[in-house]
Every structure is written in structure tokens, then in C-alpha cells.
């Protein structure tokens, strides 16, 4: 058996962490350009940073449980928006994958009035995630362009932008589509609102100018940025995940965010959730991280398409995960990648990558790239 194939088989059988690779094989992450000073030794966008988020969500979940019961705890994620108001008595869940909106209340006095206000709040929630606290029941300031504008239409098939139309639609829903169910020995009054069929495309168009600027600034293809956003969040700017990742491109503040701040922005510290909930900041930061993947972490990959496949996989599973797919030795891994055709690199990263999520991730992103290019 050839030596490099032996190493690949050995790795697949035994497994190995990114930290062990660096320790055993002296992976060289020495900076080589002005964007790569003080480079983090173990680049990886999705190394978990959950302590602070866990503490916040545990407290948040306890308050939800008091009103809704243990089985009815719902929290915002990557592809769903969840917001509580009215001292946790009312809430909204927008499921972007299914294209549905559920607005409900467990208020025991005047439930229809509570539900009406929750519907109006949902329809008029602003297109600015930095103004909305997802982990409390704080009221939402209803000003500016609604986030769901054109993604939902009223009984007359008209988009909802103004207060009067939102109020009228709320009255219509309560009169014609009100439902009741049992929730933890209480009654939940709710309505379900379908989103328009092209709701994902409508959201994607909103960020066209931001994507274009970021692509030009960092030399990253627009279709790749679009595909990453669709994969990570379905164009949900309120997205938050288990890895303490935020916004459209699901940037982790302590890893990718910190690297971009230090190496690209020449700033100390790391981006805050509020900073990353701003779509302009989020897309800029996520694209800047792709710049680092392209020009530093994986710069020795020669073929442009092989490099792109490696960058996509690394955005999810780290540059170390890409190299580990081919060899336990960094130099040999790069050599192996450069000897292979792009389709062979793609096959290895989607079939032999040590992380199953990363294998699926590359498949999704490349599929979405084709969709955007065929439009």
C-alpha cells in the first residue's frame, strides 16, 4: 500500500483531533501576509463557545417553562425565529424551512386581545435584528421596514407594511382562523399564517448589495456567499445556533469573529452578538473569514476548484478537518490534495471527512451554488 494511502486508512480507522494533528505534526500556522498577524493557531469557525450562551438560555428556558410548561419550550435557532412578548404569555415562531408562522398566547384574561397584539408585533417586527432581544420578553419597537414585508400577504393578497393593514389582518385572522389547543393544562389561542412560496428568494434579494460589496472587497465569489447564507440560515438574519454563532453566515464570535477582527479589521477583542446580527457586519465578517481560508489556512492548495471545495468544508469543520481527511501530516495532506482532480477532492470531502456534518455541508453548499447560477 502506498504510504499516503496507508496514512489515510489509519486516520479513518483511529480518528484524530485537530489539536492532536497540530501537536504531533507541528502544523505551521506562521503568518505570511499583512492580514495574518497574530493568527489563531487552530483555525476553526465552529469550535464550540457555548458557556455564555448556555447560561443565558438556561435562565431564559426557566421563564418560558413557568408560562408554557416543560414540553412547550421553543427557542430561536438557525432556521426559525422565536420571539416572546407580553411577559412570556405570547410568542411567535417563524419556520423558514416550512414557510409557516405560528402566533399564540396562553393569556387567561382577554386572550384574543393578547393574540391580536402578538400578531401585529409579528407582522411589523423591524428588519433590524439588533433591535430585537430574542432571549427575553422585551417589547419590540415597531418602526421601519418590517422584516416579513412581502413574505406574508393579507386576506387581500397584499404585503403588510403599515400598522393599519397589520391590525386589519390580525382582526381577520382572529375572526376566521382562530384555533384553540391545550398547553400544560392551559388553553393556547393561536393562528397559523402561511408565508409566500418564494419567501427565501425575497429575503435573499434584500442582501444583494451587501453580498456584492463583500465579494468585491475580499475576492470571494457571490454565488459562494449566497450558498453559505442559505445553508447556514435560510437568509434568517435573526439566526442563532448551538455553537454560539449568530446571523446570516452564522459567525462564531470567539473563533472566526475574533480572527477577522484581529487580522482583517485590526481591532482587538471579538464581535458582539449585536454586531453580528447586523446583516452588513455579518456578511462582511463571514466573507472576510473565507478570505483567510483562501489566502492563509489553505493557501497551498493549487487548483482553484479544489481550493473552493476545501474552503467550504473548512468553514464548517475547520481547515484541520480538511487536511485530516487526506493525511495525518499537513504537508502530505496538501500534496495529496494537489495530486488529485477537483472531483476526487470533492469525493473525499463528502465521503471520507471525519465529521458527518461537514460531509453533508459541502454537498448542500455546492448544490445551492448551482441553483443560484441557474437563475
Helix (H) or strand (E) holding 186: strand 186-194
Question: What phi, psi does 290 have (nearest 5°)?
Answer: -65, -35
Closest CA to 171 of 119, 110, 124: 119
Stronger pLDDT, 8 or 90, i.e. the higher one: 90
Q: Which of 24-38, 263-277, 310-324, 337-351 has the lowest mean pLDDT?
A: 24-38
Range of the domain at 9: 3-51+202-373
- 134 and 227: one domain? no
3-state secondary structure of 127: coil
Looking at residue 375, its pLDDT comes to 73
Closest CA to 166 of 181, 145, 180, 187: 145
Closest CA to 92 of 79, 75, 113, 111: 75
- 252 and 288: one domain? yes
What cell numbers appear for 271 in the block? 464581535
Looking at residue 44, its pLDDT comes to 62
Laid out side by side, the sheet with 90-95 consists of: 80-85, 90-95, 100-105, 186-194, 179-183
Looking at residue 129, its pLDDT comes to 87
What CATH number did the domain enclosing 9 receive?
1.10.530.10
Note the pLDDT tens digit of each residue in 238-286: 999 877 899 999 999 999 999 999 999 999 999 999 999 999 999 999 9
Query: How far is residue 314 from each of residues 42, 134, 224, 306, 309, measured CA to CA in Å?
Result: 12, 29, 13, 12, 9
Would residue 232 show up in a list of annotated catalytic residues for this protein?
yes
CA distance 334 to 359: 19
- 355 and 214: one domain? yes
- 142 and 274: one domain? no
3-state secondary structure of 245: coil
- 25 and 41: one domain? yes
CB of 108 within 8 A of CB of 186?
yes
Residue 39 has pLDDT above 80, yes or no: no
Q: What is the mean pLDDT of residues 114-125?
A: 98
Predicted TM-score of the model (pTM): 0.82
Residue 103 has pLDDT above 60, yes or no: yes
Residue 33 has pLDDT above 80, yes or no: no
- 227 and 356: one domain? yes
Domain boundary among the residues 157, 180, 196 is at 196
Query: How far is residue 360 from each of residues 346, 350, 365, measured CA to CA in Å?
Result: 11, 7, 9
Note the pLDDT tens digit of each residue in 42-51: 456 655 555 6
Nearest 5°: the CA angle 346, 351, 356 is 115
- 158 and 283: one domain? no
Looking at residue 57, its pLDDT comes to 73
Domain boundary among the residues 196, 213, 241 is at 196
Question: What phi, psi does 6 have (nearest 5°)?
Answer: -60, -45
Residue 14 has pLDDT above 60, yes or no: no
- 170 and 192: one domain? yes
How many domains is the chain built from?
2
Domain boundary among the residues 173, 196, 219 is at 196
Of the chain, the percentage scoring pLDDT greater than 90 comes to 77
Residue 15 has pLDDT above 60, yes or no: no
Looking at residue 43, its pLDDT comes to 54
- 45 and 65: one domain? no
- 64 and 146: one domain? yes
- Distance between first and last Cα of the chain: 46
Q: Which of 35-44, 121-130, 300-309, 353-362 has the lowest mean pLDDT?
A: 35-44
Strand partners, 102: 93, 192
CA distance 107 to 105: 6
Note the pLDDT tens digit of each residue in 284-298: 999 999 999 999 999
Q: Which of 58-62, 358-362, 368-372 has the lowest mean pLDDT?
A: 58-62
CB of 301 within 8 A of CB of 40?
no
- 227 and 175: one domain? no
Q: What is the mean pLDDT of residues 28-45?
A: 37
Question: What phi, psi does 84 have (nearest 5°)?
Answer: -100, 140
b/e map of 283-318 (b: 16 or more CB within 10 Å)?
Answer: bbbbbbbbbbbbebbbeebeeeebbbbbbbbbbbbb
Mean pLDDT for all residues in the chain? 87
Residue 320 has pLDDT above 50, yes or no: yes
Looking at residue 125, its pLDDT comes to 96
Catalytic residue from among 72, 182, 201, 232: 232
Helix (H) or strand (E) holding 81: strand 80-85
Question: What phi, psi does 80 have (nearest 5°)?
Answer: -140, 140
Looking at residue 266, its pLDDT comes to 92
- 167 and 149: one domain? yes
Amino acid at each position: 500500500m502506498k504510504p499516503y494511502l496507508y496514512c489515510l486508512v489509519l486516520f479513518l480507522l483511529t480518528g484524530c483531533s485537530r489539536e492532536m494533528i497540530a501537536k504531533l505534526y507541528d502544523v505551521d500556522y506562521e503568518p505570511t501576509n499583512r492580514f495574518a498577524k497574530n493568527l489563531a493557531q487552530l483555525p476553526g469557525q465552529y469550535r464550540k463557545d457555548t458557556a455564555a450562551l448556555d447560561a443565558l438560555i438556561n435562565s431564559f428556558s426557566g421563564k418560558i417553562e413557568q408560562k408554557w410548561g416543560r414540553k412547550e419550550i421553543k427557542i430561536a435557532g438557525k432556521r426559525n425565529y422565536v420571539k416572546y412578548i407580553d411577559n412570556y404569555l405570547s410568542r411567535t415562531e417563524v419556520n423558514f424551512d416550512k414557510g409557516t408562522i405560528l402566533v399564540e398566547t396562553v393569556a387567561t384574561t382577554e386572550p384574543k386581545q393578547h393574540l391580536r397584539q402578538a400578531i401585529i408585533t409579528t407582522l411589523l417586527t423591524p428588519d433590524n435584528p439588533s433591535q430585537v432581544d430574542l432571549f427575553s420578553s422585551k417589547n419590540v419597537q415597531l418602526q421601519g421596514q418590517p422584516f416579513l414585508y412581502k413574505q406574508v400577504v393579507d386576506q387581500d393578497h397584499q404585503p403588510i407594511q403599515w400598522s393599519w393593514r397589520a391590525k386589519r389582518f390580525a382582526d381577520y385572522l382572529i375572526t376566521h382562523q382562530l384555533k384553540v389547543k391545550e398547553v400544560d393544562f392551559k388553553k393556547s389561542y393561536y393562528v397559523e399564517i402561511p408565508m409566500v412560496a418564494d419567501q427565501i428568494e425575497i429575503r435573499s434579494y434584500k442582501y444583494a448589495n451587501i453580498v456584492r460589496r463583500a465579494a468585491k472587497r475580499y475576492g470571494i465569489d457571490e454565488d459562494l456567499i449566497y450558498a453559505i447564507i442559505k445553508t447556514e440560515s435560510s437568509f434568517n438574519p435573526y439566526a442563532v445556533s448551538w455553537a454560539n454563532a449568530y446571523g446570516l453566515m452564522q459567525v462564531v464570535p470567539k473563533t472566526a469573529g475574533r480572527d477577522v477582527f484581529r487580522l482583517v479589521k485590526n481591532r482587538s477583542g471579538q464581535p458582539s452578538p449585536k454586531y453580528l446580527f447586523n446583516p452588513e457586519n455579518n456578511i462582511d465578517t463571514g466573507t472576510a473569514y473565507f478570505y483567510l481560508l483562501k489566502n492563509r489556512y489553505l493557501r497551498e492548495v493549487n487548483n482553484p476548484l479544489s481550493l473552493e471545495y476545501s474552503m467550504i468544508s473548512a468553514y464548517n469543520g475547520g481547515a484541520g478537518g480538511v487536511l485530516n481527511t487526506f493525511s495525518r501530516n499537513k504537508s502530505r495532506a496538501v500534496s495529496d490534495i494537489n495530486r488529485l482532480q477537483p472531483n476526487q477532492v470533492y469525493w473525499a470531502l463528502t465521503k471520507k471527512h471525519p465529521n458527518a456534518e461537514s460531509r453533508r455541508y459541502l454537498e448542500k453548499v455546492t448544490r445551492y451554488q448551482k441553483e443560484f447560477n441557474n437563475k
